[in-house]
């Protein structure tokens, strides 16, 4: 573990007013009375791990759950305890964003807000069991602008049961009209065995067939509106990349605190257990919370570097990842016009980016040791 070098900090705030049907994050509904104790525990974990962090860190990301559903006093205390950073992002659900909350965030040093819009179509928001309507999204957006936030991201989901291509087109128009600095667009991932998948099985199959056209539409509309398609699912105005997430995609180390949070430092990755009570009581006793450890060997790290790096629109230095790349597969994919070599770097072509997962899997060298010979 390289101490005092980690420049990216993730903080998990699991509380939500309600669990959306499709959600698979670590979330806890209600429990308002527990927010203060949880924040105490977060601060304690940060204190325990502070030795890992660089003197000046680059980014902090508060994700959830619904971070903005956290009790305001507890949230303010947390923001106050966090180390200063160039970019501090908070995820927010539209219905939680009031003028008061916006200024609380602003005063707490938050520089960027990621707003979970998902759709502007009431019918589809209902399918997703989202509480906010389209006007709530707009209202939240303006409250944030009023509080002088000049870096706002909107999340959209496509492939929602009942969605048509023209629904998606209208969602994209509505999002573009708000002129956010950043957009994240994900296909709906319905996990097998969940209540949501059970309820929408057949319609999910219909949507799966339409997914490739949706993805093409998203890229076409947003690139057409002069957003940069800088990552597989992320679009931004020039210079407005999500710096925290770019850290992940560049394979940088990060510290995650809170239940279910993952850290990767050096060759070690650990995940805090997702149980609230065990987390709070361990830290109250001054001990680290229960964790799963995963050791990452060199070849695994290289594969991850390749997988994450190829999500970005800039070439990946072959000197760095070459050992993870199967040269025959590279040549085959190059002939198919899916990958290219640019300035000693490996990059996906435009069509290659639409097939990035499959292309990456194919590029994985079978036995990394082989290429060292």
The residue ranges that bind another protein (CB under 8 A) are 8, 10, 184, 186-187, 189, 211-213, 215-216, 232-233, 245, 248-249, 254, 256, 260-262, 264, 269, 271, 294, 300, 303-304, 307-308, 311, 332-333, 336, 338, 353-362, 364, 366
Question: What is residue 316's three-state secondary structure?
Answer: strand
The residues pairing with 183 across neighbouring beta strands, listed in sequence order, are: 154, 235
**Nearer Cβ to another protein, position 236 or 308?**
308
Minimum CB–partner distance for residue 139 and another protein (Å): 26
Residue 257 near residue 9 (C-beta atoms within 8 A) = yes
**Nearer Cβ to another protein, position 103 or 299?**
299
Minimum CB–partner distance for residue 370 and another protein (Å): 15
**Nearer Cβ to another protein, position 36 or 290?**
290
d(CA 176, CA 54): 37
**Nearer Cβ to another protein, position 136 or 196?**
196
**Nearer Cβ to another protein, position 23 or 76?**
23
**CA quadruple 25, 125, 216, 66: dihedral sign:** negative
Minimum CB–partner distance for residue 190 and another protein (Å): 11
Minimum CB–partner distance for residue 107 and another protein (Å): 27
User: Which residues have CB under 8 Å from 257's CB, separation 6+?
Assistant: 9, 10, 11, 12, 42, 45, 46, 49, 263, 272
CA angle 103, 261, 116 (to 5 degrees): 45
Minimum CB–partner distance for residue 220 and another protein (Å): 12
Minimum CB–partner distance for residue 186 and another protein (Å): 5
| Upstream peptide bond of 339 is cis (omega within 30 degrees of 0) | no
The residues pairing with 107 across neighbouring beta strands, listed in sequence order, are: none
For the chain, the 3-state helix, strand and coil shares in percent, each to the nearest 5, are 45, 25, 30
Residue 360 near residue 306 (C-beta atoms within 8 A) = yes
d(CA 261, CA 11): 7
* Cβ density class 263-295: b for 16+ within 10 Å, e for less: bbbeeebbbbebebeebbebbeeeeebeeeeee
**Nearer Cβ to another protein, position 110 or 363?**
363
**Nearer Cβ to another protein, position 76 or 262?**
262
**Nearer Cβ to another protein, position 161 or 256?**
256
Minimum CB–partner distance for residue 151 and another protein (Å): 18
Minimum CB–partner distance for residue 149 and another protein (Å): 21
Residue 271 token pair: 């995940």
């Amino acid at each position: 573990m390289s101490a005092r070098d980690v420049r990216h900090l993730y903080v998990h705030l699991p509380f939500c007013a309600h669990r959306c049907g499709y959600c698979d994050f670590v979330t806890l509904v209600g429990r308002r009375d527990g927010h203060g104790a949880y924040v105490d525990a977060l601060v304690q974990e940060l204190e325990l791990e502070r030795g890992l962090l660089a003197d000046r860190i680059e980014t902090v990301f508060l994700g959830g759950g619904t971070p903005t559903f956290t009790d305001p006093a507890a949230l303010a205390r947390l923001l106050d305890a966090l180390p200063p950073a160039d970019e501090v992002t908070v995820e927010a659900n539209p219905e939680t964003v009031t003028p008061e909350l916006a200024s609380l965030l602003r005063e707490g040093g938050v520089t960027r807000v990621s707003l979970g819009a998902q759709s502007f179509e009431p019918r589809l928001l209902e399918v997703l069991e989202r509480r906010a309507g389209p006007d709530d999204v707009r209202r939240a957006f303006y409250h944030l602008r009023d509080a002088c936030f000049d870096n706002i991201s909107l999340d959209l989901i496509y492939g929602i049961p009942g969605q048509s291509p023209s629904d998606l087109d209208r969602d994209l128009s509505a999002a573009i009209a708000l002129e956010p600095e950043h957009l994240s667009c994900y296909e709906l991932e319905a996990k097998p065995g969940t209540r949501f998948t059970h309820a929408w099985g057949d319609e999910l199959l219909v949507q799966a067939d339409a997914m490739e056209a949706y993805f093409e539409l998203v890229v076409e509309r947003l690139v057409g509106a002069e957003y940069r398609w800088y990552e597989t699912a992320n679009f931004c105005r020039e210079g407005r990349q999500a710096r925290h997430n770019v850290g992940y995609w560049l394979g940088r180390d990060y510290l995650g605190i809170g239940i279910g949070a993952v850290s990767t430092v050096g060759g070690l990755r650990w995940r805090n257990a997702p149980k609230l009570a065990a987390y709070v009581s361990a830290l109250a006793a001054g001990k680290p919370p229960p964790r799963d450890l995963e050791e990452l060997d060199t070849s695994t790290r290289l594969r991850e570097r390749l997988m994450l790096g190829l999500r970005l629109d800039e070439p990946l230095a072959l000197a760095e990842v070459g050992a993870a790349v199967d040269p025959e597969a590279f040549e085959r994919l190059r002939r198919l016009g899916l990958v290219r070599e640019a300035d000693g770097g490996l990059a996906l072509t435009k069509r290659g980016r639409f097939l990035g997962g499959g292309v990456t899997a194919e590029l994985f060298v079978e036995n990394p040791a082989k290429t060292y010979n």
